[in-house]
Amino acid sequence: MSDDLLAVADRVVAMAAPGEQVEAVVVRGVDTEIKVYGGEVESLSSAQSQGVGIRVVVDGRQGFAYAGSLDEAVIAETLAEARDNAGFATRDELVGLAEPDGVPVQELDLFRSSLAEARPDDKVALALELERAVLAADARISGIESAEYADGVSEAAVATTTGIRSVGRETSCFVATYAMATEGDDTQTGFGFSVGRDLADLDPGRAAAEAAERATRMLGAVKPPTGRLTVVLDPWVTAQFLGLLGYTLNGDAVAKGRSLFADRLGEAVASPLVTLVDDPTDIRAMTATDTDGEGLATRRNVLVRDGVLEMFVHNAYTARRAGTVSTGNAVRGFKSTPSVDCLFLSLQPGTTDPATLIAGIDDGVLVQEVSGLHSGVNPVSGDFSTGAEGLRIRGGEVAEPVREFTIASTLQRMLLDVQAVGNDLQFLPMNAAGVSLVVADVTLSGS
């Protein structure tokens, strides 16, 4: 149980000197990772790790230090280092720890003792089943690039001199695979996965079928001609797009003049079809959590309603700068001070299924994979350009596969150009949900 972690955090806080604010975040995790190849276990790693991060605020100056150990002597050294670091920061009266805000913490069902107690053999069996299912899915499947099972059991405690004491624990697991399909000289790849909180949630068969389908349907892909058209982002791609959008709505980017929506509160920034919610209390999300990185209760926040920008997300510091209260969006590991970010973004789903969305498009592309989002999208300027692959849409039907092209627009325009939101909400191993999204007037750059 996480009580011993809270006890460690309490001991750190008790060492605060007069006039000092001290915060300790203490974490422990057991992670297992199993990779299989050729019907054998390629590697099996299992290990426990722990760490402590200590923040000291004195006289409006903040210092931080961390260590990958809960040894008492190491903790004392870490606190001294954080204290020393604080002396070098610029004084800022708004700097300080979070304070209890009275928002009750919701009890979320995020921990399964069944996973913590599962036998390694059962995990290995799932990974082997995944590989077998991929190889058997289609005669054109030529191999796997990877097939793996991974899980984590994690616990965290936060305590502060301002009266915060929070603990949380959770389990998560997934199976994931990259399949390769080959026909002649042509090799294509496809990704499939299944996520859950314990082994019973996982569906290796579905993950395998999805990877095989995505790989085989790309065989014979050609480079499409350059032009402007409508794209359908598949749920996996939409989720990555939402992740980028999340940056522009974080209170730190807003306060420091790095958000392109900074002055747009209350204005229409997106198509009326867009309602964007950040809700880490949705337990279907892999990133669901009942408390944030500063120990405050997480909550459901509607950021964009019917296309109108309603709010930004904040941690304690960015909230003070904006003259508001924390939205429970502090994000951190034990190796850093809290930043601010969306925790689980999703678009409110529409009522149309993906096939009907496609039937309404005369000339377009269904994008099933994107690459280089980190190198071709600038969330400060809004410039958006990404490598892509997928299937051509002609006359309302899915046609030939296409690859080695880019799609480009700007984040601002893409939000306004949303034509439809699908009804196929999907939960993915990331901090955003996926749903099919139709965006008009995107530039496809190819041959």
Partner 1 sequence: MIEEAVLQRVLGSALKTGGEFAEVFAEDRRNSSALLDDGRVEELTSGRDRGAGIRVVVGDTTGFAHTADLSEAGLLAAAEAAAAAAKGGGGGTRTVALTRRTASRGYDIETYPGDVPKARKVELLTRADEVARSTGGAISQVSVSYGDNRRRILVANSDGLLAEDDTVRTFFAVSCVATGDTGMQTGRESVGHTVGFELFDLYDIDELARRAADRALTKLAARPAPSGQMPVVIASGGGGVLFHEACGHGLEADLVAKGASVFRDRVGQQVASKGVTVVDDGTMAKEWGNIAIDDEGHPAQRNVLIEDGVLTDYMWDQLRARREGRPSSGNGRRQSYQHLPMVRMTNTYLLAGSDDPDDIVASTEKGVLVKHLGGGQVNTATGDFVFGMTEAYLIEGGKVTEPLREGNLIGNGPEVLQRIDALGNDFAMGPPGTCGKDGQGVPVGDGVPTLRVSSLTIGGTAA
User: What part of residues 28-87 is at the interface with partner 1 (CB under 8 A)?
Assistant: 37-38, 40-50, 62-69, 74, 77-78, 81-82, 84-86
Least Cβ distance, residue 382 to partner 1 (angstroms): 7
Enumerate residues 136-175 that contact partner 1 by CB under 8 A: 142-146
Instruction: Report which of 35, 187, 207 is spatially closest to residue 134, judged by C-alpha positions.
Output: 207
Least Cβ distance, residue 358 to partner 1 (angstroms): 24
Least Cβ distance, residue 355 to partner 1 (angstroms): 27
Among 24, 130, 134, 180, binds partner 1 (CB under 8 A): 180
For residue 210, the 8-state DSSP code is H
Q: Are 432 and 346 in contact (CB under 8 A)?
A: yes
Enumerate residues 409-438 that contact partner 1 by CB under 8 A: 409
R_g of the chain, CA atoms, integer Å: 24
Q: Are 436 and 234 in contact (CB under 8 A)?
A: yes
**According to the binding rule CB under 8 A, does residue 113 interact with partner 1?**
no
Whole-number Å distance between alpha carbons of 275 and 152:
32
Among 359, 383, 423, 426, binds partner 1 (CB under 8 A): 383
Least Cβ distance, residue 415 to partner 1 (angstroms): 15
> For strand 363-371 and strand 227-233, is the pairing parallel, antiparallel, or unpaired?
parallel
Least Cβ distance, residue 352 to partner 1 (angstroms): 28
**According to the binding rule CB under 8 A, does residue 100 interact with partner 1?**
no
**According to the binding rule CB under 8 A, does residue 92 interact with partner 1?**
yes
Least Cβ distance, residue 350 to partner 1 (angstroms): 27
Whole-number Å distance between alpha carbons of 367 and 177:
19
- Rounded alpha-carbon distances, angstroms, from residue 318 to 312, 326, 428, 440: 10, 8, 29, 35
The secondary element (H helix, E strand) that includes residue 318 is helix 316-322
**Taking the CB of residue 16, how many other CB atoms lie within 10 A of it?**
18
**According to the binding rule CB under 8 A, does residue 177 interact with partner 1?**
no
Which residue, 113 or 381, has its beta carbon nearer to partner 1?
381
Least Cβ distance, residue 256 to partner 1 (angstroms): 5
Which residue, 48 or 351, has its beta carbon nearer to partner 1?
48
- For residue 424, the SS3 value is coil
Per-residue interface string for the shown chain with partner 1, residues 224-263, x marking contact by CB under 8 A? --x----------------------------xxxx-x---
Q: Measure the N-to-C terminal CA separation of the chain; round to a whole number of Å.
A: 58
Among 236, 344, 405, 427, binds partner 1 (CB under 8 A): 405
Enumerate residues 303-342 that contact partner 1 by CB under 8 A: 335-337
Which residue, 69 or 106, has its beta carbon nearer to partner 1?
69
**According to the binding rule CB under 8 A, does residue 120 interact with partner 1?**
yes
Question: How many Cα atoms occupy the beta-carbon half-sphere of 18 within 13 Å?
Answer: 0
Among 106, 165, 189, 209, binds partner 1 (CB under 8 A): 189
Which residue, 56 or 343, has its beta carbon nearer to partner 1?
56
Which residue, 285 or 370, has its beta carbon nearer to partner 1?
370
Instruction: Report which of 5, 3, 48, 2 is spatially closest to residue 25, judged by C-alpha positions.
Output: 5
The number of residues that bind partner 1 (CB under 8 A) is 80
Among 109, 363, 372, 400, binds partner 1 (CB under 8 A): 372
For residue 231, the 8-state DSSP code is E
Bridge partners for 155 per DSSP: 28, 169
Question: How many Cα atoms occupy the beta-carbon half-sphere of 349 within 13 Å?
Answer: 16
> For strand 437-445 and strand 418-421, is the pairing parallel, antiparallel, or unpaired?
antiparallel
Least Cβ distance, residue 85 to partner 1 (angstroms): 4
Least Cβ distance, residue 268 to partner 1 (angstroms): 18
Enumerate residues 190-229 that contact partner 1 by CB under 8 A: 223, 226
Contact stretch for partner 1 (CB under 8 A) within 88-96, 161-169, 205-213, 429-437 = 88-96
To which residue do tokens 């996520």 refer? 195
Whole-number Å distance between alpha carbons of 390 and 396:
15
Whole-number Å distance between alpha carbons of 370 and 377:
12
**According to the binding rule CB under 8 A, does residue 103 interact with partner 1?**
no
Length of the chain counted residue by residue: 447
**According to the binding rule CB under 8 A, does residue 375 interact with partner 1?**
yes
Q: Are 171 and 137 in contact (CB under 8 A)?
A: no
To which residue do tokens 């392109």 refer? 260
Contact stretch for partner 1 (CB under 8 A) within 101-109, 182-190, 298-306, 415-423 = 182-190
Whole-number Å distance between alpha carbons of 69 and 54:
12
Among 7, 355, 380, 399, binds partner 1 (CB under 8 A): 380
**According to the binding rule CB under 8 A, does residue 187 interact with partner 1?**
yes
**According to the binding rule CB under 8 A, does residue 272 interact with partner 1?**
no
Least Cβ distance, residue 145 to partner 1 (angstroms): 4
Q: Are 74 and 82 in contact (CB under 8 A)?
A: no
The single-letter code of the amino acid at 285 is A
